[in-house]
Amino acid sequence: MKQITLYHNPRCSKSRATLTLLNERGFNPDIVDYLATPPDAATLKRLLDLLQLAPRALMRRTEAEYTDLGLDDPALDDATLIAAMVKHPRLIERPIVVVDGIRAAIGRPPEAVLRLLG
């Protein structure tokens, strides 16, 4: 059986829909409430590698913190952006599904995670 981790925000409709999708297919993921237990910098780097994304691509640019902290500055390096996500986890796009620690996808739309389950 696949080992599935869901970086989840229970208040997010896409995150809830992704959890439902996984459950309907018989998967019971380990759930990480990333707002209550934010990932550290090393975990975020690993997630970015699995997702094949640059830090800014994993950030929710519509969150107030993004603008308030000046994170739209193109001169900011990856380490600064990752540190901002660690300190302000609301900036992290959600949900993120990781399968067997080797593949990941963002559940936007929720069906995007299905490619990981085949």
Residues catalogued as catalytic = 12
- Pair 95, 2: CB distance under 8 Å: no
Per-residue CA distances from 67 to 63, 83, 98 (Å) = 7, 15, 29
- Pair 6, 29: CB distance under 8 Å: yes
